[in-house]
Homo-oligomer: A and B are copies of this chain.
Amino acid sequence: MSMRVTPTDLIPMARGAAVLGGGGGGDPHIGRLLAASAMRELGDVEIVSPDEVPATACVLPIAMMGAPTVMVEKIPSAGQISLALETLARYLGRTPTHVACMEAGGVNSMVPFVAAARLGLPLIDGDAMGRAFPELQMVLPTMSGVSATPMSIVDDKNNKGVFDTIDNNWAERLARSATIDMGCAPIVSLYAMSGSEVRDCFVPGTLSLCLSIGSAIESARAANQDPVEALVGALRGKLIHTGKVVDVTRRTVAGFARGEAVVTGLDAAAGSQLVLKFQNEHLIAELDGEVLVTTPDLIVVVDAETGEPITTETLRFGHRVAVVAAPMDERWHTPAGIELVGPRYFGYDLDPIRFDGTPSEGARLGAC
């Protein structure tokens, strides 16, 4: 199934992408403006399901790398985005047939539309994680043995780099240092894949999911229904808390936005206090000292009234918010998935807990 995406579709899609960002991934707003402008100039973008991609296709994913706190102020150029893709294609000596999205959550849902419009290539409806995570090896293809490299990295000044590393952790390490030198917002193209690899490793349908989530929120608002309830439905998730943000601490460390937020319960949740721990994305939600849900499941903070997702870098004192948890791809709950993105990787000494309160299959890693 393929679908033509117009600049107008990007509005709800970006909202849905901010939801899947789980507070991180960078605000998609600026990316959406850039994508809409490229599409108005060069035409709509066709998104195709992973099923339709020929096995021998040359698929080049593209993303912005860096700290969301910087990304909201430093706008990439459309030229920088296509240059990253062209640099990788040239190094590989291949002609790309499809553009892909690594991270459906946040700004990286929109960046691939710019590349697809400029190169006139179809974009794959899916992504490599189903949400947003802060490091480049934190994707399902890593678990399937797909190499992140060769990867390209291009900054706003047109400095270019290519890394070709022995594993995906080394790719993260070298690209992270370059990202910091390059001002914390370069564009990267990485995890070049065949069509078969995309079918094996991608979470299918995440771009159209973003569109459904965003549309559900908008329709509920238009019909004077509860947008938070609509969001919970679209995500097949669960409302875990509503309340007022009473404290936020955040700092940008080694290219990441880290911190904690405290939400004091209102209405039905009165008397309860939720603590959110984030590193770019929300990773842990703790209600009155009890861990409710952890990475890899999704924790999203939205405006309690409008259902509008709030990123960790814009969260502030006084916000009335609803906190929603939702299940993520099952592969994240395997031991290999938990090793890559479980609470312990981020420095929290906790077993992973799913959105519905059950422990993750990978939780047995905690016994090591």
- A interface residues with partner B (beta carbon < 8 Å): 87, 91, 157-166, 170, 173-174, 177-178, 180-182
Closest B-chain residue to A151, C-beta based? B161
Report whether A163 and B164 are in contact in the complex, using a CB–CB cutoff of 8 Å.
no
Closest B-chain residue to A160, C-beta based? B164
- Across-interface contacts of A182 in B (CB, < 8 A): 174
- Across-interface contacts of A91 in B (CB, < 8 A): 91, 162
Greatest chain B CB density within 10 A among A91, A163, A166, A174 is at A174
How long is the Cα–Cα vector from A163 to B152 in the complex, in angstroms?
A: 10
How long is the Cα–Cα vector from A166 to B182 in the complex, in angstroms?
A: 12
Closest-CB distance, A148 to chain B (whole angstroms): 12
Report whether A174 and B159 are in contact in the complex, using a CB–CB cutoff of 8 Å.
yes
How long is the Cα–Cα vector from A178 to B173 in the complex, in angstroms?
A: 9
How long is the Cα–Cα vector from A91 to B161 in the complex, in angstroms?
A: 11
- Across-interface contacts of A157 in B (CB, < 8 A): 166, 170
Report whether A164 and B159 are in contact in the complex, using a CB–CB cutoff of 8 Å.
yes
Report whether B166 and A163 are in contact in the complex, using a CB–CB cutoff of 8 Å.
no
Closest B-chain residue to A171, C-beta based? B159
CB contact under 8 A between A166 and B159, given known A173-B181, A180-B177: yes
26 contacts between A and B (CB under 8 A): A87-B164, A91-B91, A91-B162, A157-B166, A158-B166, A159-B164, A159-B165, A159-B166, A159-B174, A160-B163, A160-B164, A160-B165, A161-B161, A161-B162, A161-B164, A161-B174, A162-B162, A162-B164, A174-B178, A174-B181, A174-B182, A177-B177, A177-B178, A177-B180, A177-B181, A178-B178
Closest-CB distance, A63 to chain B (whole angstroms): 19
- Across-interface contacts of A163 in B (CB, < 8 A): 159-161
- Across-interface contacts of A87 in B (CB, < 8 A): 164
- Across-interface contacts of A178 in B (CB, < 8 A): 174, 177-178
- Across-interface contacts of A181 in B (CB, < 8 A): 173-174, 177
How long is the Cα–Cα vector from A182 to B170 in the complex, in angstroms?
A: 9
- Across-interface contacts of A165 in B (CB, < 8 A): 159-160
Q: Sorted from nearest, which 7 A-B pairs have the closest CB atoms?
A: A177-B177, A162-B162, A160-B164, A159-B165, A161-B163, A159-B170, A177-B181
How long is the Cα–Cα vector from A91 to B181 in the complex, in angstroms?
A: 23
How long is the Cα–Cα vector from A174 to B91 in the complex, in angstroms?
A: 19
How long is the Cα–Cα vector from A87 to B165 in the complex, in angstroms?
A: 13
How long is the Cα–Cα vector from A173 to B161 in the complex, in angstroms?
A: 12
- Across-interface contacts of A158 in B (CB, < 8 A): 166
How long is the Cα–Cα vector from A170 to B153 in the complex, in angstroms?
A: 14
Closest-CB distance, A95 to chain B (whole angstroms): 16
How long is the Cα–Cα vector from A181 to B182 in the complex, in angstroms?
A: 16
